[in-house]
Amino acid sequence: MNATLPRILFADQFPIFDSLSPIERARLEEVAEFKVKPKYSFIYLADEPSDTLFFLAKGAVKIGTHSCDGKEIIKSLIHPKAIFGELGLIGEQRRQDFAQTLKEEVHLFTIRVEDFKRFMKTNFLLCDRVMSSFGDRLIRAENKLESLIFKDARTRIVDFIKDSVEKRGHKIGFEMLLKHSLTHQDIANITCTSRQTVTLVLNELRKSDLIYFNRGKILVRDIGKLS
């Protein structure tokens, strides 16, 4: 793949840069670096310097951590057109989490935190977009915490399916098809359940003819009846 082509189109791929002028976009292209990461590879690890921002163009990335007993916990999933690794903008010195690609190759752009801050200093609308991104992150974290406190394992798994389908699914007649890169263990790590529980819930939903699933796909028969 020609690495110069994505660089030319970089700013156009991400809504966060809509407010940049042509001159600012040209300067952005000069400091951005295009990278390809293979499947199941780490983009960064905990305790590495938080000196780089990442902009996902293709593929999916999981952001996670490990509990004291070594269990993986997935905090969020990153999909194309999203920014991640951004806590360096608000003072994080070293990474608290890891970022890892899923089952397909990932295309992304990187910008050093100090370079990005220079753009923020001269563009209020860009700052506003970044603050909105942090706000969305905080809301998602609060919603997940409430879910862990107030909802049982089955409800968390069903809610995850519904939320994913509503955000990234494709309508096929009255049904919704979600293509994903997750294993049952990944879904368990996201919903703070076990792989066995995820498998049991998915099989139950399939037997009730609410969903159909196979590797990398979930078909929801009727999103309104999924509960």
* Total Cβ atoms within 10 A of residue 24: 16
- Boundary residue ending a domain (110, 125, 150): 150
Mean pLDDT of 28-36: 93
pTM, rounded to two decimals = 0.89
Residue 177 · residue 184 · CB < 8 Å: no
Q: What is the mean pLDDT of the chain?
A: 92
Same domain, 161 and 140: no
User: What pLDDT, on a 0 to 100 scale, did the predictor assign at position 5?
Assistant: 47
Q: Is the pLDDT of residue 148 over 60?
A: yes
Going by DSSP bridges, is the β-strand pair 98-101/83-84 parallel, antiparallel, or unpaired?
unpaired
Q: Could you tell me the CA-to-CA distances from 1 to 5, 19, 84, 99 in Å, in that order?
A: 9, 29, 24, 24
Q: Which of 150, 183, 208 is the last residue of a domain?
A: 150
Q: Between β-strands 106-112 and 33-37, what pairing exists: parallel, antiparallel or unpaired?
A: antiparallel
My answer on whether 140 and 157 are in the same domain is: no
Task: With cut-offs at 50, 70 and 90, classify the pLDDT of residue 173.
Answer: confident
Where in the sequence is the domain holding 68, given as residue range(s)? 4-150
Spatial distance between the Cα atoms of 126 and 118, rounded to a whole number of angstroms: 11
More confident residue, 3 or 128: 128
Top-confidence range, 43-52, 66-75, 213-222? 43-52
Is residue 117 domain-shared with residue 184, that is, in the same domain? Answer: no
| Count of structural domains, the chain | 2
Please check whether residues 179 and 218 belong to one and the same domain: yes
184 and 101, same structural domain?
no
* Tens of pLDDT, residues 123-132: 999 999 999 9
User: Mean of the pLDDT values across residues 127-142?
Assistant: 91
Query: Token match 């189109």: residue?
Result: 9
- CATH code where residue 108 lies: 2.60.120.10
Which residue stretches of the chain are H helix? Answer: 4-9, 22-31, 113-122, 124-150, 153-168, 184-191, 195-207
Which two three-digit tokens encode residue 226? Answer: 């999924």
Q: Domain check: are 144 and 157 in the same one?
A: no
Half-sphere exposure of 135 (CA within 13 A, CB side): 6
Residue 114 sits in the same domain as residue 32: yes
Structure confidence at residue 7 as a pLDDT band (50, 70, 90): very low
